[in-house]
Each structure stands twice: as structure tokens, then as C-alpha cells.
Amino acid sequence: MGDIFLNIGFVMASDLVAKRRKKVGYLYREEPDHDEDSGWRIFSGEEDQDYADDPDNFDLYDPKTIADIDPSIIPLLSSPPYTAFERAKNGKGFVPVKDYEFGETCD
């Protein structure tokens, strides 16, 4: 289990997951913003647009910190950029999101 956490970089997670310890409901991976960034963006699924637009509601975390809260994300962390997942309707595991539109990166 621990090997996936080596050299992956940090994940950006919502405070609802990281601080309030809610299970992950949605996550996607984009191209990293910098060398220490994995590109993973992690949400509980309860964040509304106002919450998501406020950068104070997110921070960078070691992926192990988030995996300790919700171990079901571990198999997904080796997925490549431009992948997205949402929690399955039965609450067990994740299913790929095929129609997620990734934004263009800003240089």
C-alpha cells in the first residue's frame, strides 16, 4: 500500500474531506501545477460552487493523509492525468466519470 504514496506529490483536498473527515465523493486528476503537485483534486461531493470557489476551503496534503480518512481512493491514485471518478451509487468504491471536461492549463 505504501509504495503508491512515494513520489506521487501532494493532493489538493477540500476541508470537508481533510478536516471534517468526510468520505471522498469525487476526485479527478489534471496535469500538476508544479513539481510537488500530483494533479489530484479531491472533494466530498457536498461542496457547492461558492464553497469550491473559495481557495481557503482547500489545501495541499500528503496523499496518505487523505487515504487514512478514505482508503477506498488508494487504487485510483496511480491513474493518469485526465481521469475522474465519483463514488458509486451504492457507496462502495468508485466509477469513472467519462464526460468530465478538463479545463485548459494556464501557463
Instruction: Give the pLDDT confidence of 23-64 residue by residue, as tens digits.
Output: 999 999 999 989 899 999 999 999 999 999 999 999 999 999
Q: Is residue 56 part of a domain?
A: yes
C-alpha cell at 97: 466519470
Number of domains in the chain: 1
Boundaries of domain holding 76? 2-89
Going edge to edge, which strands form the sheet with 58-61?
Answer: 58-61, 10-14, 37-43, 26-29, 83-87, 94-96
Q: Is residue 50 part of a domain?
A: yes
For residue 4, what pLDDT is reported?
60
Q: What's the alpha-carbon Rg for the chain, to the nearest Å?
A: 13
Q: Is residue 102 part of a domain?
A: no
**Side chain identity at residue 4, one-letter code:** I
Q: Is residue 104 part of a domain?
A: no
Binned at pLDDT 50, 70 and 90, residue 71 comes out as: very high
Q: Is residue 51 part of a domain?
A: yes
Bridge partners of 41?
12, 28
Estimate the share of the chain in helix, then strand, then coil, as percent rounded to the nearest 5. 25, 25, 45
pLDDT at position 1 over 70: no
Q: Is residue 96 part of a domain?
A: no
For residue 5, what pLDDT is reported?
61
